[in-house]
Amino acid sequence: MARFGRFEVIGMYVSIEGETIIRVPPSGLGGDYSNAVLGVAKETLEGRLVDTSDNPYNQKKCYIVSVTKTRMVGDGTIVHGDGGVYQTVKYEALAFEPEMHEIVDGIVVSVKDFGAFVKFGPMEGLLHISQMMDDRIDIDLANQRFVGKDTKRDLKIGDKVRTKIVLLSLPSSTLDDAKIGLNTKQPWLGKPDWIRLQKQAAGA
196 and 142 in a common domain: yes
Same domain (yes/no): 112, 160: yes
SS3 for 123-182, per residue? EEEEEEHHHCCCCCEEEEHHHCEEEECCCCCEEECCCEEEEEEEEEECCCCCHHHCEEEE
The pLDDT tens digits for 92-149 are: 999 999 999 999 999 999 999 999 999 999 999 999 999 999 999 999 999 999 999 9
CATH number at residue 110: 2.40.50.140
Cβ atoms within 10 A of the Cβ of 99, count? 11
pTM: 0.84
pLDDT of residue 2: 41
37 and 53 co-located in one domain: yes
The mean pLDDT value for 169-174 works out to: 92
Residue 194 confidence (pLDDT) above 50: yes
Q: Do residue 112 and residue 189 come from a single domain?
A: yes
pLDDT digits (tens, 9 = 90+) for 28-38: 888 889 999 99
Confidence category of residue 73, pLDDT binned at 50, 70, 90: very high
Q: Give yes or no: residues 45 and 129 share one domain.
A: no
pLDDT of 127? 98
How many structural domains is the chain composed of?
2
Q: What's the domain range around 143?
A: 103-202
